[in-house]
Amino acid sequence: MQPRTPPCTAPAESQTPTDVLVVGGGIIGLVTAWRSAQRGLSVAVVDPEPGGGAAQVAAGMLAAVTELHHGEQTLLALNLESARRYPDFAAELAAASGREVGDLGYRACGTLAVALDSDDRAHLRELHALQRRSGLESEWLSGRECRRLEPMLAPGVRGGLRVDGDHQIDPRRLTAALLVACERADVIFHRAWAERLSVVRDRARGVVLGDGTELHAGQVVLAAAASAGASRASPRPSCRPSGR
Ligand SMILES: Cc1cc2nc3c(=O)[nH]c(=O)nc-3n(C[C@H](O)[C@H](O)[C@H](O)COP(=O)(O)OP(=O)(O)OC[C@H]3O[C@@H](n4cnc5c(N)ncnc54)[C@H](O)[C@@H]3O)c2cc1C
């Protein structure tokens, strides 16, 4: 499912300032915009293609336990709490975007990570031990047990880890729903690149678009993700006085 294209505000030299200006309309930017608008704030999002970004290629694993890494205990606590809240979040977003929760592709079906060779097996065994030390629930399965769960697996699978608590979402459907929820909450979309930040007395006050339009806001949220470091997609600070 392709994300819906939200209505675009016409470029203007001076836009009415909003309470919040979000740079980047990927999952993080759209959720931030939607939640801010729900709290009664006026919100604008700047992105040439809101709803695009990494969500268009991501797998949508909500895998706090399967993707555990050494030294990430603090992150683990955050990930587990996020996973615990996900069903309510999905239900609320579905309602706000006029969908059924199943339309978001949210599935609480568990995760199976399989080992294709002995290196994979050793890695998953180590992960299993770390999960147990961390008090997490996961189960080691033989290759045969894995294939019983998923008959399409290759005959040579050497074993695997089953984590019932790790779920999944369809990131394309998620962003499509977020776009509608934002639209319904009166979030304004500027379909353009933010070329640079407007900084006044060490505080981000807005951004300047490619056509020179200046957008001002009480709070500027940078949610441009990985592309924030790349060429024109990186809003560079500019210390020239802003018009506000
Ligand atoms: C192949 C792949 C698989 C993944 N699988 C998983 C998974 O299974 N589970 C999981 O949890 N995560 C997964 N992820 C990670 C997850 O998709 C990302 O962490 C998440 O989508 C990032 O969202 P975001 O909003 O931070 O950034 P993005 O989706 O990158 O969005 C950033 C947005 O900012 C915009 N932007 C950038 N610069 C500017 C600018 N100057 N002006 C205006 N707009 C700008 C871009 O156009 C883009 O729309 C995967 C990622 C990839 C690439």
Q: pLDDT tens-digit profile of 206-223?
A: 999 999 999 999 999 999
**Cα(225) to centroid(ligand 1), Å:** 6
Binning the chain into helix, strand and coil, the percentages to the nearest 5 are 35, 25, 40
Q: In this structure, what DSSP letter does residue 26 have?
A: S
Residue 228 banded pLDDT, cuts 50, 70, 90? low
pLDDT the model gives residue 6: 45
Report d(CA 141, CA 98) in Å as an integer: 40
Quick one: pLDDT at residue 13?
56
Domain with CATH 3.50.50.60 in the chain: 18-56+172-238
Topology of domain 18-56+172-238, CATH = FAD/NAD(P)-binding domain (3.50.50)
At 43, the pLDDT band (50, 70, 90 cuts) reads very high
Residues in contact with 86: Cβ distance below 8 Å, sequence separation at least 6, in sequence order = 62, 106, 167, 169
Atom index in ligand 1 nearest the CA of residue 24 equals 34
Instruction: Find the residues whose C-beta lies inside 6 A of ligand 1.
Output: 23-29, 46-47, 49, 52-55, 57-61, 171, 193-194, 223-228, 233, 235
pLDDT per residue as tens digits for the range 62-82: 999 999 999 998 899 999 999
* Cβ atoms < 10 Å from Cβ of 8: 12
Nearest protein CA to atom 2 of ligand 1, as residue: 58
Confidence of residue 7 (pLDDT cuts 50, 70, 90): very low
Q: Centre a 10 Å sphere on the Cβ of residue 145 and count the other Cβ atoms it contains.
A: 15
Distance 27 CA to ligand 1 centre (A): 7
Tens of pLDDT, residue by residue over 145-189, are 999 999 999 999 999 999 999 999 999 999 999 999 999 999 999
pLDDT for position 12: 47
Q: What is the pLDDT of residue 155?
A: 94
Is pTM beyond 0.85? Reply is yes
